[in-house]
């Protein structure tokens, strides 16, 4: 599923095709993709506007418009952005199509309709609830160590919480926890300082490597805007490898559910830690 590396790749690849272009026409084929606006309202807000820049924040592709508003694109499960010749008629799963002033169009495809293509007047405000970027300067070892210590949730749900840290999804969390030898169900405040450091490094290394490989493709959904699959799935150590030997120790990879998410661990490498039991009161 598209997570930070896939969204980053998408943003980078569409940027040269849409930055500086003007939107000359908007078509919407599934209204709920707009996340609240009616088709009429959305068309009014976007048609004629110039796209001044493309960025990524968390798992959003942000298309900045000339009037300081923006389009927030969230790929969710199955969304994709494509650059198409304007003449081409939208394929079966296209939910939104923006015609550009250079005879190309930006298509938002989304089989499962979970994705969003939303216009917001104040992008900074709309994104303000998100946690730090894992590859940004605010995400330091010290920040992570302290942030983990100040919470009590299980590690995996916490790392998936976009208001805690922005951009990780199910795949890269499983990979990072395995790399750092941490158990997804360990309470975050039981993570030692050295482990926090290892987790910090694992997250950054994995995300950077995945971006270098243009993300991960394994279920027929994610492709770059150029139609190419990513390559990072070949580097998975635990995700989707239930029953296979752990690449580090050979112990079979286990799969179970944590916080309603399929979760992959090596039970030998990743030992669950728990909070010290309340000491029983010595009685008389």
Interacting residue ranges for DNA, rule: CB under 7 A: 1, 3, 32, 58-59, 74, 76-78, 111-114, 151-154, 157-158, 160, 162, 169-171, 187, 220, 259-262
Minimum distance of DNA from residue 31's CB (angstroms): 9
Does residue 16 sit in helix, strand or coil?
Answer: helix
Structure tokens belonging to residue 191: 């993570």
Minimum distance of DNA from residue 64's CB (angstroms): 19
Minimum distance of DNA from residue 220's CB (angstroms): 6
CB of 10 or CB of 170, closer to DNA: 170
- Give yes or no: 85 in active site: no
Q: Which of 21, 49, 57, 59 is catalytic?
A: 59
- Give yes or no: 271 in active site: no
Asked if residue 61 lies in contact with residue 10, where contact means CB atoms within 8 angstroms, the answer is yes
Q: In which residue are the tokens 């158990």 written?
A: 183
Q: Which of 3, 6, 15, 185 is catalytic?
A: 3
- Give yes or no: 31 in active site: no
Ramachandran category for residue 163: left, alpha or beta (phi over 0 → left; psi -120 to 50 → alpha)? alpha
Backbone φ and ψ for 129, nearest 5 degrees, come out as: -80, -10
CA gap 230, 256 in Å, rounded: 26
CB of 252 or CB of 259, closer to DNA: 259
Minimum distance of DNA from residue 186's CB (angstroms): 11
For 140, the enclosing helix (H) or strand (E) is none
Asked if residue 24 lies in contact with residue 100, where contact means CB atoms within 8 angstroms, the answer is yes
- Give yes or no: 3 in active site: yes
Q: Which residues are catalytic?
A: 2-3, 59, 261
């Amino acid at each position: 599923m598209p997570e930070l590396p896939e969204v980053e790749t998408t943003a980078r690849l569409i940027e040269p095709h849409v930055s500086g272009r003007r939107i000359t026409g908007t078509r919407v084929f599934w209204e709920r993709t707009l996340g609240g606006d009616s088709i009429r309202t959305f068309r009014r807000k976007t048609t004629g506007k110039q796209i001044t820049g493309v960025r990524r924040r968390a798992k959003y592709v942000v298309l900045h418009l000339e009037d300081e508003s923006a389009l927030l694109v969230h790929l969710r499960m199955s969304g994709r952005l494509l650059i198409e010749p304007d003449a081409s008629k939208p394929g079966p799963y296209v939910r939104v199509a923006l015609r550009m002033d250079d005879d190309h169009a930006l298509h938002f495809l989304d089989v499962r309709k979970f994705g969003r293509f939303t216009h917001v007047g104040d992008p900074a405000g709309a994104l303000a609830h998100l946690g730090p970027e894992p590859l940004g300067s605010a995400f330091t070892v010290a920040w992570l160590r302290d942030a983990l210590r100040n919470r009590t949730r299980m590690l995996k749900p916490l790392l998936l919480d976009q208001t805690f840290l922005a951009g990780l999804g199910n795949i890269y969390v499983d990979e990072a926890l395995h790399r750092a030898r941490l158990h997804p169900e360990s309470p975050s405040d039981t993570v030692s300082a050295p482990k926090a450091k290892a987790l910090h490094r694992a997250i950054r290394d994995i995300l950077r490597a995945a971006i270098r490989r243009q993300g991960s493709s394994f279920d027929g959904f994610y492709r770059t805007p150029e139609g190419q699959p990513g390559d990072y799935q070949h580097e998975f150590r635990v995700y989707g490898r239930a029953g296979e030997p752990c690449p580090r120790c050979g112990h079979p990879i286990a799969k179970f559910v944590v916080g309603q998410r399929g979760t992959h661990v090596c039970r030998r490498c990743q030992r669950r830690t728990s909070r010290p039991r309340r000491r029983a009161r010595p009685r008389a």
